[in-house]
């Protein structure tokens, strides 16, 4: 039993389960808007499971693919995928189990979700390999999380309305923007190992500018989402307020690069949760 608990703890550390907070709010935002309110406990359960298994799959693939990279990076050398706690076979089984679970959950949701389940997994798995040949990896990560609101609206309505695309575009640029900030930590290592990233290719100053540009685009698309979905004051407050949060994040990193973890995990976590709460308020009080 103790060995099982330790193994579960190692897998939790492998995928950083608590960081599911980045994708969960936006899948539920899409579901609330698509249903114009409460969408039911069944879809709540299936939506949460779909988001978690999809993320577990993506993180598992990333950790498996990056074993050689993580092993020589001082920042990541203590991860379970490289320090001996989890072997390659265990990680592959974890990836397969979560992929299968995601496909089954999609089947239970509706036919369109099932048809799109494997293409979604292919997109999620592709991120890990982009850094080896393209600095567009930041955008691919954004697309991976941007699929969350698309999946949410498909679960409720089996359709992809324009407002969900705008919401997803906001998520794409939000995630790509904060991934750029996070990748500043590995800029020198990426240069040394010949890995492709915007910081390693263009330097810190250009990265900060592109990150700020991406975050500006995120806010713009979220404002357009509010307009296209015909939402009200609280939704507008969520979109506009996200601009203030992201401006604070940019300021935090510019002031001190040691604040990157705080900006990445804390600030972005709160953004998603508050955005969701305001959207719920908007639908309740509409």
Domain contains 4? no
SS3 content of the chain, % helix, strand, coil (to 5): 85, 0, 15
Domain contains 9? no
Of all residues in the chain, the percent with pLDDT exceeding 70 is 84
Distance between CA 100 and CA 103 in Å, rounded? 5
Query: Is residue 25 over pLDDT 80?
Result: yes
Domain contains 276? yes
Give the CATH number of the domain where residue 112 resides: 1.10.357.140
Instruction: Please tell me the predicted confidence (pLDDT) of residue 149.
Output: 92
Model pLDDT for residues 179-199, shown as the tens digit of each residue: 888 888 777 766 766 777 788
Give the residue carrying structure tokens 């015909």. 230
Domain contains 103? yes
Q: Which of 209, 240, 246 is nearest to 226 (CA)?
A: 240
Domain contains 5? no
Model pLDDT for residues 237-277, shown as the tens digit of each residue: 999 999 999 998 888 877 766 556 655 667 777 888 999 99
The answer to whether 34 and 164 are in contact (CB under 8 A) is yes
Angle between helices 233-255 and 162-183 (to 10 degrees): 10
Distance between CA 1 and CA 185 in Å, rounded? 38
The answer to whether 35 and 156 are in contact (CB under 8 A) is yes
Q: Which of 121, 125, 79 is nearest to 104 (CA)?
A: 121
The answer to whether 211 and 178 are in contact (CB under 8 A) is yes
Of all residues in the chain, the percent with pLDDT exceeding 90 is 42
Distance between CA 22 and CA 29 in Å, rounded? 12
Query: Is residue 18 over pLDDT 60?
Result: no
| pTM for this predicted structure | 0.88
Domain contains 217? yes
Domain extent for 89: 20-284
What is the domain count for the chain?
1
Domain contains 13? no
Q: How far is CA 234 from CA 23, 186, 239, 277, 282, in A?
A: 21, 38, 9, 9, 5
Query: Is residue 159 over pLDDT 70?
Result: yes
Distance between CA 56 and CA 70 in Å, rounded? 18
Q: Which of 85, 266, 92, 240 is nearest to 170 (CA)?
A: 240
HSE on the CB side for 233, CA within 13 Å? 3
Domain contains 54? yes
């Amino acid at each position: 039993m103790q060995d099982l608990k330790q193994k579960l703890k190692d897998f939790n550390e492998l995928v950083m389960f608590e960081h599911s907070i980045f994708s969960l709010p936006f899948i539920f935002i899409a579901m609330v808007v698509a249903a114009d309110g409460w969408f039911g406990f069944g879809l709540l359960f299936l939506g949460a499971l779909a988001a978690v298994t999809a993320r577990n799959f993506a993180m598992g693939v990333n950790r498996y693919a990056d074993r050689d990279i993580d092993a020589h990076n001082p920042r990541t050398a203590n991860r379970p995928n490289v320090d001996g706690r989890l072997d390659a076979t265990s990680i592959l089984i974890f990836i397969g189990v979560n992929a299968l679970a995601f496909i089954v959950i999609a089947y239970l949701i509706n036919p369109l979700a099932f048809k799109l389940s494997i293409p979604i997994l292919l997109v999620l798995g592709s991120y890990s390999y982009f850094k080896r040949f393209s600095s567009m990896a930041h955008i691919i990560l954004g697309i991976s999380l941007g699929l969350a609101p698309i999946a949410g609206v498909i679960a409720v309505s089996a359709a992809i309305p324009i407002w969900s695309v705008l919401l997803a575009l906001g998520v794409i640029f939000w995630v790509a923007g904060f991934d750029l900030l996070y990748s500043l930590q590995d800029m020198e290592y990426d240069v040394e190992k010949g890995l492709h990233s915007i910081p390693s290719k263009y330097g810190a100053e250009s990265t900060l500018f592109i990150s700020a540009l991406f975050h500006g685009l995120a806010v713009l698309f979220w404002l357009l989402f509010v307009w296209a979905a015909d939402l009200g004051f609280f939704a507008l407050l969520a979109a506009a307020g996200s601009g203030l949060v992201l401006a604070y994040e940019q300021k935090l990193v510019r002031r001190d690069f040691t604040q990157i973890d705080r900006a990445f995990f804390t600030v972005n976590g709160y953004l998603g949760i508050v955005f969701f709460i305001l959207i719920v308020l908007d639908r309740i009080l509409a």
